[in-house]
């Protein structure tokens, strides 16, 4: 893998905010801050077409994020009113949070995969239903009550409902803007309807959170049955051989050598599966919470709190479900808690 976004990488390593950049002919990247997040920012991309600009992802809904996005557009000399279309890789708040505001100011239409629209309806825009569902899930994972209290407070304090789409985008669709050959590639895993976008004219692939240059994207399951990890691994393979000239991710920095990065990500999950399988015991069921505490993380488990711990639990569950589907783990419900054992 070769780093091509050298200024972005230098800023990342220095823990500084990266610059607004023209990354290719007719494509600009604008970093938009994510409040109180180790990811620090999301990269929003502007793609010029015959009658304006298309935006890929908008950023977190926060006054400072909105201010920085507006300043970035001004630095690119792109008026907000010139944006005619918003295409969303996925609806996590750091990617889709400002979409309603951008659409209101510009008149742009919003497009996403239908599974992201479904996810919005069920999980994000119905707060009470989502909290009840989260509580049931966390009880099933064996999480203690204080973790549910933390996550309930976080959800109640997050920005309000996010925008629903005006258009649905399916795998293989060409985005309907004049003068741009942008094709949608469905890559479920990180989220059910995650989309990458391949610019056939410039030979660049916008990967959202599906493929990042340094971080291994979080692949979580927040359901009692899910194929999230299997979907993700299959989605990685679906990109193999594409080898675009450059990869434009939503975090960190641009790079080339997509196949090398796909191999590294696949190997990472094989190692994670092996580690979790080694924790399982043949005759003693353990909850997902107990298993997560025995897995290697970037920090000690005791130092991980709040949403990072929630994401870690979700990742352990997705890997356990993959092992169960492969016949390597079993699941039993004991008093409302899922107990996992070595098959």
Give me the tens of pLDDT residue by residue for the chain, a chain 343 residues long: 999 999 999 999 999 999 999 999 999 999 999 988 888 999 999 999 999 999 999 999 999 999 999 999 999 999 999 999 999 999 999 999 999 999 999 999 999 999 999 988 876 655 544 556 777 888 899 988 887 777 766 665 566 679 999 999 999 999 989 999 999 999 999 999 999 999 999 999 999 999 999 999 999 999 889 999 999 999 999 999 999 999 999 999 999 999 999 999 999 999 999 999 999 999 889 999 999 999 999 889 889 888 888 899 999 999 999 999 999 999 999 999 999 999 9
Cα–Cα distance, 320 to 333 (Å, whole number): 14
- Nearby residues of 180 by Cβ (< 8 Å), 6 or more positions away: 47, 48, 49, 50, 54, 199, 201
pLDDT at 291: 97
CA nearest neighbour of 162 among 195, 125, 131: 125
Number of Cβ atoms within 10 Å of the Cβ of 98: 28
- Residue 155 pLDDT: 61
Which domains occur in the chain, in start order? 2-125+161-279 (3.60.15.10)
Task: State the SS3 of 78-89.
Answer: CCHHHEEEEECC
The per-residue pLDDT for 230 is 98
pLDDT score of 125: 54
Would you say the pTM of this structure is higher than 0.85? yes
| pLDDT for position 149 | 74
Residue pair 99/163 in contact by the 8 Å Cβ criterion:
yes
What pLDDT is recorded for position 243? 95
Give the per-residue pLDDT at 107: 97
Amino acid 129: pLDDT? 47
Distance CA 253, CA 5 (A): 5
Nearest Cα residue to 209 out of 314, 317, 57, 85: 57
C-alpha distances out from residue 155 to 54, 138, 184, 254, Å: 30, 14, 30, 31
Closest CA to 208 of 232, 181, 177, 234: 232
Q: What 3-state class would DSSP assign to 199?
A: strand
Query: Measured between alpha carbons, how far is 139 from 287 in angstroms, rounded to an integer?
Result: 10
Structure tokens at 4: 């091509």
- Whether the CB-CB separation of 321 and 226 falls below 8 Å is answered with yes
64 phi/psi in degrees, rounded to 5? -70, -40
CA-only gyration radius of the chain, Å: 20
């Amino acid at each position: 893998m070769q780093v091509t976004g050298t200024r972005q990488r230098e800023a990342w390593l220095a823990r500084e905010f990266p610059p607004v950049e023209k990354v290719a002919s007719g494509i600009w990247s604008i970093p938009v801050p994510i409040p109180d997040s180790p990811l620090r920012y999301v990269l929003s991309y502007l793609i010029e077409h015959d009658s304006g600009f298309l935006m890929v992802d908008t950023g977190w809904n926060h006054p400072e994020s909105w201010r920085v996005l507006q300043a970035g557009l001004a630095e690119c000399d792109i008026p907000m009113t010139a944006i005619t279309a918003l295409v969303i890789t996925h609806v996590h708040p750091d990617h889709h949070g400002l979409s309603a505001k951008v659409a209101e100011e510009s008149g742009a239409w919003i497009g996403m995969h239908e599974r992201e629209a479904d996810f919005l309806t069920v999980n994000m825009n119905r707060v009470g239903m989502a909290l009840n569902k989260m509580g049931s899930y966390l009880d099933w994972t064996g999480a203690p009550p204080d973790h549910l209290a933390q996550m309930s407070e976080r959800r109640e304090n997050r920005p309000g409902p996010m925008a629903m789409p005006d258009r649905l985008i399916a795998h293989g669709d060409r985005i309907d803007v004049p003068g741009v050959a942008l094709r949608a590639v469905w890559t479920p895993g990180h989220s059910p309807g995650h989309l990458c976008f391949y610019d056939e004219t410039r030979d660049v692939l916008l990967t959202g959170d599906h493929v990042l240059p340094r971080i291994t994207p979080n692949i979580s399951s927040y359901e009692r049955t899910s194929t999230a990890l299997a979907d993700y691994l299959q989605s990685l393979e679906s990109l193999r051989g594409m080898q675009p000239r450059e990869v434009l991710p939503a975090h960190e920095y641009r790079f080339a050598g997509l196949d090398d990065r796909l191999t590294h990500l696949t190997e990472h999950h094989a190692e994670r599966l092996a580690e979790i399988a080694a924790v399982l015991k043949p005759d003693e069921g353990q909850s997902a919470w107990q298993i997560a505490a025995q897995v290697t993380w970037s920090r000690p488990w005791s130092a991980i709190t709040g949403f990072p711990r929630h994401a870690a639990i979700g990742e352990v569950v997705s890997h356990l479900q993959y092992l169960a589907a492969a016949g390597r783990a079993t699941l039993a419900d004991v008093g409302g808690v899922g107990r996992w054992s070595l098959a």
